[in-house]
Structure formats: structure tokens, C-alpha cells
Amino acid sequence: MRPSSFLTASVESAMRDTLADLQIRSQVQDVLTELVADVELTAHLQERVEHHLTIKSLQVRMAQHEQALAEASYVENQTREESMTMADQLVRELWSVSRELGALQDLRAQHKELLSQHDEVLANLMQTEEDLAEIRARGVRVVAERNEGSGMAETDGSELQQQPAASPTTLPKISVLEPQPLQLIQSEETASAAAPVISNTPDDASAPISNLKGQDFTDTKAVENVADESVLSGSNSQLLSETQAIDKKLPPVATPIPEPAATAVVELDVDDDNPPKLEELDTEILMNMFGFLDALDILNMAQTNITMYSRVDSLFGLGGSGAEAADDSSTIASTEITPTLKTTTVGSSDKGMHSSATMAVIPPIDTGSIGSAGPTARLSTTTDTTSSAPINYSAPSRPSLFGLFNQAAQRSIANATAGSVSASNSAPSPSRTTSLHRRNSSATDAAPMNAAMANSMASKLTDAELNAIILMTERLRQKELLAKQLTDEKEKLAAQLDGTESVKQFLVAKIRDMETAISATVENETKVAQQIASDQEVIAFLDGRVQDLERENTVLLKEKAATFEQLQKAQQNSTEKAAVMGDMLQFEREKLFENEREWKATKKLLVKEVKSCRNQIAALQAECDGVREQNEILRKTVLSASQSSPTMAKDRVYT
């Protein structure tokens, strides 16, 4: 075996191994290059997808934020417009309410001024009544003082006529009193000795309503006429002027037309089983009854029976000297009695109204005062609240009559009879419309007066008794005229008071209406204030909500800006990375191209070497075959020689 063939085989195997290694390395390099390219492409695509998704999400969030911002701005604009509208409406309502409130306050001030004027008028009227009562009491005292110094009735009359002219006091206007229901009026001096009051009025009307006291009037007609004319002339003009001044300031008021006074039927509340008789009555009761009767009525009552005639004769007869008469007069009780009378109002309304009529006797003046006013009996009959008032009558008492009997002692019986007849035919008083007066009138009509009866009665009476009856008749006629005048005056003043009361009620009603309107306005203001407070709460809530949305919008805008910056940075980074990756890819491609070119050149060289190596291998193989053949030949030669010697065998084994 030659060394060259062995070297050739070793070189061939080394080159074969080198070629396999180069192929493996080339494949590994290709795989690595493809793997790197795939990884880079995957990363690039993933980044692009992530960037695209981020941009989409940011666009969606931006659209949502823009929509929320638009809604918030729209709500804010609507809230601002509603607030401005409500504020304008509130200002207009407050302005109208303030104007109405100012008008109501002005009207209320006017009403208060009118009420104060009305109260002043009423106070003036009450003060006038007190002044009038004081003036009349002063006149009565003056008349009493002058009658003490003179015993003649004519002198008394002339002095009383001159008294009002001598008084420099100006009579104020007459006070108008509100109509009061009938009640019992008692004198303070005889309140402890008065009989118990029997009343049929309801429990709620049992308490006294009026505290008016009876007023004494003079029994001289001249003083009463002068006083009444002065009072009416002085008070009516002033009251008319004040009423006109008030009416000018007030709106027109429908004055109710007063209904005609109803006729009151008065019945004594007595026991029907055992009625009292005239002759059994007390002396003071009889004197009170005689105070409301004419002289002819008293004579007719006296002729009912002998006992009654004896009592009348004992009351009005001389009975001896003047001293004895004065002593007898002390037996006549002057305490106050209070029989309760039951009245029923008819004619003016369908429903019956019950009231009470009272009679009160004021204690007489001392018997030493000759010519003074006698005890006064008051009959208070209320039939209509607009036309009734207490009326005073003078009931002659025995002490005041004896001074007059001596003056008329020379009058004849015929004159007495004529005076009695004329007195019985005189006009009746308007207040004597009760059943008590009707019974007396019916008794008079049942027993008409004729000449024989008049002569018979005149023969039974003395001149002093006839003179007393005449004087009593004259006084009754004067008192009836005075009562009629006072009643007319009272009706006029009551009508004026009704007008004033209607005005007052109208003003009170208007004030109440104004107070109701003011309270309603205050309630409306309260409601408006509550509505304003609630609106302010809503506005505050909306303002807070708008501020929250603005803060959120600001935060979102900041996030949007930051995200946009991040997006730009990511896009820039991606662009830079893409450029770098492109450059790297281009470099790798160029490197790959160069490597491929080198590999191709190396491959060509290796192919040439492989071919040469194969040729060498073939030559070497041929040489090897030749060597093997030689060896085979040699072996065979050796084997043949070895059989001949062991040395040759060892050489053969070695070979």
C-alpha cells in the first residue's frame, strides 16, 4: 500500500466531513435567519395591531367625552335660561305683590282713619248724652230750688220757661244709644228693699245689658220744649255735618230700610189659678199703675167696687189738714217693684221675639220740698231694635199734690168734668201700646161717660180731689207730649245710629276682607318663597352637577391629550422601529445575498474539489484494487511458503 493513496483517502474523508459540516451550518443559518425574520415580523404586526386598537378606543372615548360635554353644555344653557326666566317671573310677581300690598296698606290706613273718625263721633255722642243728662239734672235742681221759694204753679212755669234762656251753657248734640232689650232698672237707694225679680228671659239674656239710669224731667212744658228745641237744633246740625263728612269718604252703602215697629203684647206673668185683685194690691203698685192712667181711667177703676173706691179716696182725698196728709203720705212705700212682663213681637217678622218690660219707681223727694218733681216711673218696652227706647213718665205722688189742691180750690165741678172728658179724649202716647193700656182703654169704652155719671162722680168728689185730678191730667198730657217728642227724637237718632252702625259694619267687613286678602297674599308669598327655595336647591344641585361634569371633562381632556401624546410617541417609536427593522432586514438580506454568493462560490470550489477528490478516490481505488490483488497474490505465495516453514506463517499472520 502506498502512502499517497492513504493520504488521499484521509484528505477525501476530511473534505467530506467539512462539506457536511458546511451544509449543516448553512441550513442552520437559513433556519435562524427565517426565524429571526418571522419573530421580527410578528412583533411588528402585533405592535401595529395594538396601535390600531388603541387609536380606536381613544376615538370612542373621545366621541363619548364630546357627547357628554355637549349634553352638559346644553343642560347648563337650559338651566341658565330657566333660571333667568324664573328670576324674571319672580321679579314681576314680587313687583305686582308689592304694589298690591302697598294698595292694601293704603286702603287699610284709610279704613283705620275712618274707624277712628267713627269712634270719635261715637265718643262725642256719648259725651253729649252725659252733658245733656247733666244739663237736665241741673234744670231740675234749679226748678226744685225755685219751687221751694214759691208756691204758685204759674210762677213755677214762668221761672222754668226763663231758665234755659238764662243758662249760657251750649247744649251739645244728643248721644245715640244702641237699642237695649227690656230689663228691670233698680234704684241704688232701694236695691236692698226691692222685691225679687221674676224673669222669663233665657239664661244667656239674664245678665243686664244696659246700665242706664232713669233721668228726671221737669213737669213744666216750657222748659222741656225749649230744651228739646235747643238740643235738636244744636246736635242735629253737627251730627248731620259729621255724617255727611263720613259718607263722602266712604263708598256707597246700601242702608237697610227699617221695618215698622211691631206691636208688643204685654201680659202680666201671674198665677192663673189665684190672680190678685185690685183692692188687694200694695199701695206702691197702685201708685205705679195710676202713673200710667188718665184721671178718667182712675175714676172708672175706683167705681169697680166700694173697697177700691175707698182706697182711691184715701189716696187722693184730703183726709184732713195738710199735716195729716203729709203724715199719711209717709205710709206710701216708694220702694222699687220689678214685675216681669212677657212681650211677643208680631208683624215685622215671622218668628216671635220675647223681651221684658220693667217698671221702676224712684224714691220720692222729701215731703218738705214743695213743688219738686215727683217720683218717676219708667216703662221700657222693646219691640224693635231700631225704634225703641226707655220712656219716662211722672207718676204723681200724694205729697206733691196737696200744694196744688189749695191753688185750684175755687174751680167748679163742671170745669173738672170738662177737663176730665178732654183729658180722656187726648191723643194717646205711642209707647202706650201694651195690653195693659188696652185693658184700661177697654174698661173706659165699656163704661162711657155721660152727664149723669159725671155729676154723680163730681158729687162724690171734693173740689180738692177734682183739682188734683185736673192737675194730674194736665201733667199726664204734658208728659205724653214730651214722651212723644223724645220718642221721635230717639227714632231719628236711632236711624242715624243705624246708618253709622251699617257704615261701621261695612268698614269692619272691608277690613276683614282686606285682612283675608293680606293673609292670602302672605300665604302666596310664603309659597313663592318656598318655591324659590326649592328652585334654588335645584339650581344649586344642577350647578354642582355641571361643575362635576366640567371637572370630569377637564380630566378627560387631560387624559385625551396624554393619550394623544402617547399615541404620537408610540407612532414615532413604531415608525423608528419599523425603519430600524427595515434597515436590519435590508442588511440581513444583503448579508444573506453575500453569504449565498460566497456559499455558491464555495460550493463550486467544493464541487470541483469533490470531483477531483472523486477522481483521486477512483485512482486510489484502482491502486487499492491493484494493491489488494498484489496482496492476494502475495498472500497466496506466502501461504504456500508458510506451509513449508513457521517463519513464513508468522509473516503471513503479520501481513
CA 438 to chain centre: 56
β-strands 263-268, 391-394 pairing? unpaired
Q: How do the domains of the chain map onto residue ranges?
A: 3-97+552-624, 177-480
C-alpha cell at 143: 226748678
pLDDT in the model for residue 302: 80
Single-letter residue type at 189? E
Query: What are the backbone dihedrals phi and psi of residue 90, each rounded to the nearest 5 degrees, phi first?
Result: -65, -40
Is there a contact between 333 and 362 (Cβ–Cβ < 8 Å)?
no
C-alpha cell at 95: 313687583
Q: For the chain, which residues score pLDDT lower than 70?
A: 1-7, 149-275, 317-451, 454, 644-655
C-alpha cell at 71: 349634553
Alpha carbons 192 and 181: distance in angstroms, whole number: 24
- In degrees, rounded to 5, the angle at the alpha carbon of residue 304 between the alpha carbons of residues 404 and 454 is 55
Return the number of other C-beta atoms located less than 10 Å from residue 618's C-beta: 10
Query: What are the backbone dihedrals phi and psi of residue 358, each rounded to the nearest 5 degrees, phi first?
Result: -125, 155
Write the CB contacts of 254 (distance below 8 Å, at least 6 apart in sequence).
none
Write the CB contacts of 440 (distance below 8 Å, at least 6 apart in sequence).
293, 297, 301
Is there a contact between 190 and 336 (Cβ–Cβ < 8 Å)?
yes
pLDDT in the model for residue 628: 80
C-alpha cell at 43: 412583533
C-alpha cell at 343: 212681650
Over residues 589-628, the pLDDT tens digits come to 888 888 888 888 888 887 888 788 788 888 888 887 888 8
The dihedral over CA atoms of 140, 143, 145, 148, expressed in degrees to the nearest 10, equals -130
For residue 376, the cross-strand partners are 394
Write the CB contacts of 648 (distance below 8 Å, at least 6 apart in sequence).
638, 641, 642
Place of cell 191730667: 473
How large is the angle between the packed helices 398-405 and 322-329, nearest 10 degrees?
160
Alpha carbons 653 and 638: distance in angstroms, whole number: 10
CA 552 to chain centre: 50
Write the CB contacts of 498 (distance below 8 Å, at least 6 apart in sequence).
255, 256, 258, 386
Single-letter residue type at 242? E
Alpha carbons 27 and 595: distance in angstroms, whole number: 12
Residues listed for the chain: 655
Q: What share of the chain is helix, strand, coil (3-state, %, to 5)?
A: 70, 5, 25
Write the CB contacts of 567 (distance below 8 Å, at least 6 apart in sequence).
51, 54, 55, 58
For residue 550, CA distances in Å to 72, 80, 536, 555 come to 8, 16, 20, 9
* Nearest one of 390, 392, 357, 430 to 177, comparing CA atoms: 390
C-alpha cell at 306: 166700694
**Considering Cα of 160, then 161, then 166, then 171, what sign does the dihedral take?**
positive
Place of cell 327655595: 533
For residue 377, the cross-strand partners are 361, 393
CA 316 to chain centre: 70
pLDDT in the model for residue 650: 54
Is there a contact between 395 and 415 (Cβ–Cβ < 8 Å)?
no
What's the count of helices (H) and strands (E) in the chain, helices before strands? Answer: 13, 5
pLDDT in the model for residue 149: 66
pTM: 0.23
pLDDT in the model for residue 300: 80
